[in-house]
Amino acid sequence: MKTETQEKFDRIIKESFIKILKPLGFKKKANNFYLPLEKIGHIINIQKSYYSTKDDIRFTINVGIFSPEYWLACFNFHNKGVPAYPTEPECMIRKRISYMRGLPDIWYNITTMTDVEELIAEMKYNISSFILPFFEKLNTEQKLINELETSEETLLNVAAKITFFGELKLLDKARAEYRKISKENCNRYQIANLKEYAEKKGLI
């Protein structure tokens, strides 16, 4: 039997995330929501704190942009192919709601004293004002490529950009990113790995 706090958590998920995301095509698995698009995917993860209990639940929200090509290059350790339900840690681009809102790290707290309606409204605000606009900006592979080239925001480090562009066979773009590695504080191990990848892709 669920505690009052657990029931509150379930209600918050149902009346904010499920209510908004399901009509948009997101599929739910555990506390993850995934929208597969033509060449990329959008992921929302409701992450419970390790220290949560059945009577005191703390959670935050993580979002990700999933790229099958990037996953195959970086996460396909067992040669099983692209997962039907990828997870947020496997995403190429990962953001937390606090970062998206320009705030310190946010963890929401639910206890028997929590005002559920207030938290539901807060989640709806997060989804509608920050998460969905972020996804709209990056809802095609080409938009993602353009954003990585022109945005002043650092969505990916140089090493990840090289891999993404390389796997998409955008070799000129990958080559341009490879030239930037000397300007970053990369450790020797990372530089060695990048050089090996660059040689394999014919970037140098």
What pLDDT score does 150 carry?
83
The reported pLDDT for the residue numbered 181 is 78
| Residue type for position 99 | Y
Which residue stretches of the chain are H helix? 4-12, 19-21, 68-74, 97-101, 116-126, 132-137, 141-150, 158-167, 171-178, 188-201
| pLDDT for the residue 164 | 94
Q: Are 65 and 42 in contact (CB under 8 A)?
A: yes
Which phi and psi angles does 139 have, rounded to 5°? -105, 5
Positions of the chain with pLDDT under 50: none
Q: What is the pLDDT of residues 131-153, one digit of tens each?
A: 999 999 999 999 999 998 887 67
